Amino acid sequence: MKSLQANREGIRSLRSKRLSINNTNLREGGFIMKATTFVQCTVGLILILVLLTACDGGGFESNFTVHSDGFNFPNAEPQFFAKETFTTELPLVNHTGIRLEAVHGNIEIEGRDDINSVTVIAQKWALADSLEDAEANMNNLEILVTDQIDEVLIQTIQPENILRRRYLVDYHIILPSALETEVTLINGDISVLNVQNRLKVDSENGNVSLVNIISAGVVVSLGNGSIDSTMVLPLDGEIRMSTINGNIDLSIPTSTSAEFAASVNNGLVRIFNLEIDAVVRTNQLVTGTLGAGEGLIDLGSINGNISVKGVD
């Protein structure tokens, strides 16, 4: 089994691949802004469509089944899978944040105002060339939930993908909306709903959807994937989003106050229903000031378009 330390090193290596290639100081209207884009070595994407099985909260629940259909694998991929549902709930006392370190699979995070605990519902998948091998290797795929006094740490612990085996974990996490949230993922889509505190997302391959986010600090960094987001930026808050290959779509209130920069290498920048003062505008770069410029919005894509829309 892959050790916990080796698993953490794999996650850290994801972040270390991002290299800054463009850092241009922009002077306009009495402030200095940076339009920063990043380049990143990416790994291959394994596209597997799985369904997150909903289950009732409270305690641990394991429904172990083995199937020989349901996945359309290429000939070179495993053709049989076993699945198991994992559920746990952790009450919060002095916790201020949650951190999820995942490998392969889709992630859904839902913030709620009326709870004081974190519920983790996960669908585990082990894939192999035979039913017996898939069932036997399910035990090698673990979900570790750790109470670290000030934060909750959730980790996928799995072996190396060897001998034509694959492992997946889909997460559905329900947490208090005021909890700080950090997610690291290698392959899969990420959806975050109703989070009202700092949010950080770092993903190698997959799309990110952010809905109803009210945060003073949002950082999203992708390799291959697009970002679709609707959020409110409080005064003095920051939104930083970057992707190597993908689009960025951001909807913010027309009353947003922030210094603004959006740039692409290959693509277009489009702004809708927003008044930008001291604007510098080309097809691939827009900078200026929204309102009094009390916060910061910094968006960048190497290959893709950026669209920013103001909503009333």
DSSP string, 41-77: --PPP------PPP---SS-----EEES-S----TTS
Give 16's contacts (C-beta < 8 A, 6+ positions apart). none
Domain endpoint, select from 183, 205, 227: 205
Place of tokens 């975050």: 192
Q: Are residues 158 and 251 in the same domain?
A: no
CA distance 285 to 296: 16
The pLDDT score that the predictor gives to residue 290 is 98
User: Where is the domain boundary, 151, 182, 205?
Assistant: 205
Residues of the chain with pLDDT under 50: 1-8, 10-75
pLDDT at 137: 87
Domain boundary among 149, 183, 205: 205
pLDDT value at residue 112: 97
Domain that holds residue 71: 59-205
64 and 40 in a common domain: no
* 200-226 tens-digit pLDDT: 999 999 999 999 999 999 999 999 999
276-281 vs 285-290, strand pairing mode: antiparallel
Say if residue 92 is in the same domain as residue 181. Answer: yes
pLDDT score of 160: 75
Shared domain for 75 and 179, answered yes or no, is: yes
Predicted confidence (pLDDT) per residue in 121-134, tens digit:
999 999 999 999 99
Q: For residues 64 and 171, state if they share a domain.
A: yes
255 within 8 A of 234, measured Cβ to Cβ: no
Whether 4 is covered by a domain: the verdict is no
Residue 200 resides in a domain: yes
Token duo for residue 89 = 């709930």
Question: Number of structural domains, the chain?
Answer: 2
* Per-residue pLDDT, 14: 47
- Contacts within 8 Å (CB) and 24+ apart, 190-199: 190/106, 190/107, 190/109, 191/106, 191/107, 191/108, 191/109, 192/109, 192/111, 193/108, 193/109, 193/110, 193/111, 194/110, 194/111, 194/112, 195/109, 195/111, 196/111, 197/97, 198/97
Instruction: Give the pLDDT confidence of 272-294 residue by residue, as tens digits.
Output: 999 999 999 999 999 999 999 99
What's the pLDDT score for residue 122? Answer: 97
Separation CA 256–CA 311 (nearest Å): 10
Whole-prediction pTM value? Answer: 0.77
Are residue 199 and residue 217 in the same domain, yes or no? no
Judgement on whether residues 67 and 200 belong to the same structural domain of the protein: yes
